């Protein structure tokens, strides 16, 4: 599988309309499909030569109008790939509230209209060629680059799935998941503890709503019984969070990466290491030896010079995630409209 990470300049992009990445158990991981050519870099080079540049143009324009949409597009790929695999199932609407996107685990999901906008342009250029699932993957890649993260090649050739079920998203991890649940759900998708840390580090950019902090700040189950604040939060940081998120405040937003929410960097991992993780599922990464070691390996001052190299490894993790449960070949379909089956 060809994969290349190209360094891109820093960016200042606040805003991730998300509390935590949400992930779901998927049984089949088709990484072998990448090696076999079912997914390949430049899949549309002959059938639709302008496919990748069109998606990049749409994402760039959207990000210029609203910078918060860029981290949201990254979140959108998480939600697509961790439910039924990377098949565009999260884009389906309708069905009387029975579609996957209607599950509360997808709360606050944004960017679907950006994918649809890119699809409209591509249908005009190359009717019935570029799948919605590939547009999601390309848009996430471009969003990373436009926030100052690494540029990298994305293998394409996904087909769109033909199933979107509300209940399939029930198993998505959320901010309440402990490290055991997170590791288990990643492992079920063929991803390991290193992938868990790297993909969680996407929180280096973006914000979360106070809705997702309420339980951690005011309704956390305490070891001796009763409920209160998560005792693992340092007192000063707890006061800071409570000053931003009062009881019952669901809508105020604050950066997921304290002090560096607009820059793609490893600050999020240093914050996790030092007890300044904003949401519980991020903090959980420092509650297990395997993930602690990964967090520490990237948060040292010398890692940028001697490795491990966060930007390259993050790009590789994105490619691995983008290969979960892909539909290829003659399976599935290429939708004419991303929000409904053909």
pLDDT, tens digit, for every residue of 20-40? 333 333 323 333 333 344 899
Supply the angle between the helices 132-146 and 51-65 in degrees, to the nearest 10.
Answer: 50
At 249-294, the pLDDT tens digits run: 999 999 999 999 888 999 999 999 999 999 999 999 999 999 999 9
At 149-194, the pLDDT tens digits run: 999 999 999 999 999 999 999 878 789 999 999 999 999 999 999 9
Alpha-carbon distances of 268 from 78, 198, 209, 265, 302, rounded to whole Å? 18, 10, 17, 7, 16
Active site residue 176: no
DSSP secondary structure letter of residue 208: E
pLDDT of residue 3 exceeding 90, the answer is no
Which pTM value belongs to this model? 0.88
Task: Tell me how many domains the chain contains.
Answer: 2
Residues in binding site for Ca(2+): 80, 83, 85, 87, 89, 100, 204, 257, 265
Which of 315, 178, 203, 187 minimizes the C-alpha distance to 257?
203
User: Using CA atoms, how far apart are residues 57 and 67, in angstroms rounded to an integer?
Assistant: 14
Please indicate, yes or no, if residue 336 is contained in any of the structural domains.
no
Higher pLDDT, 199 or 170: 199
Q: What tokens appear for 115 in the block?
A: 């994918």
Which of residues 148, 172, 196 is at a domain's end? 172
Residues in binding site for heme b: 203
Please indicate, yes or no, if residue 282 is contained in any of the structural domains.
yes
Residues 34 and 161 in one domain: yes
CA angle 155-74-304, nearest 5°?
80
Q: Which residues neighbour 149 within 8 Å (Cβ) at sequence distance 6 or greater? A: 8, 11, 204, 205, 264, 311, 314
Domain encompassing residue 46 = 25-172
Please indicate, yes or no, if residue 6 is contained in any of the structural domains.
no
Please indicate, yes or no, if residue 213 is contained in any of the structural domains.
yes
Secondary structure tally for the chain: helices H, strands E: 14, 6
Residues 165 and 220 in one domain: no
Which of residues 141, 172, 203 is at a domain's end? 172
Residues 51 and 167 in one domain: yes
The answer to whether 264 and 10 have CB atoms below 8 angstroms apart is yes
Please indicate, yes or no, if residue 17 is contained in any of the structural domains.
no
pLDDT of residue 17 exceeding 50, the answer is no
Of 13, 59, 71, 79, the catalytic one is 79
């Amino acid at each position: 599988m060809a994969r290349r990470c190209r360094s891109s300049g820093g960016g200042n992009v606040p805003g991730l309309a998300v509390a935590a990445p949400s992930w779901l158990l998927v049984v089949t991981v088709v990484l072998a499909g990448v090696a076999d050519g079912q997914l390949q870099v430049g899949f549309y080079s002959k059938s639709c030569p302008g496919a990748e540049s069109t998606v990049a143009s749409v994402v760039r324009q959207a990000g210029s109008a609203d910078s918060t949409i860029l981290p949201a597009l990254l979140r959108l790929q998480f939600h697509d790939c961790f439910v039924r695999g990377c098949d565009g199932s999260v884009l389906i609407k309708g069905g009387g509230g029975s579609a996957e996107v209607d599950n509360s685990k997808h709360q606050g999901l944004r960017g679907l209209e950006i994918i649809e906008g890119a699809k409209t342009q591509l249908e005009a250029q190359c009717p019935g060629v570029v799948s919605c699932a590939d547009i999601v993957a390309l848009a996430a890649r471009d969003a990373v680059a436009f926030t100052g993260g690494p540029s990298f090649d994305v293998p394409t050739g996904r087909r769109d799935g033909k199933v979107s079920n509300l209940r399939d998203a029930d198993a998505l991890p959320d901010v309440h998941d402990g490290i055991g649940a997170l590791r288990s759900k990643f492992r079920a998708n063929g991803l390991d503890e290193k992938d868990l840390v790297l993909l969680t580090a996407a929180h280096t950019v973006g914000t979360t709503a106070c809705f997702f902090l309420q339980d951690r700040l005011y309704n956390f189950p305490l070891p001796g019984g009763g409920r209160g604040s998560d005792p693992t939060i340092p007192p000063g940081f707890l006061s800071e969070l409570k000053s931003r998120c009062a009881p019952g405040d669901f809508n105020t937003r604050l950066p997921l990466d304290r002090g560096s929410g607009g820059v793609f960097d490893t600050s999020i991992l240093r914050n996790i290491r030092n007890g300044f993780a904003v949401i519980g599922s991020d903090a959980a990464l420092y509650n297990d030896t395997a993930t602690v070691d990964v967090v520490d390996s990237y948060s040292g001052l010398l890692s940028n010079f001697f490795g491990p190299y966060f930007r390259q490894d993050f790009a590789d993790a994105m490619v691995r995630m983008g290969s979960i449960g892909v539909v290829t070949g003659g399976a599935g379909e290429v939708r004419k409209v991303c929000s409904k089956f053909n």
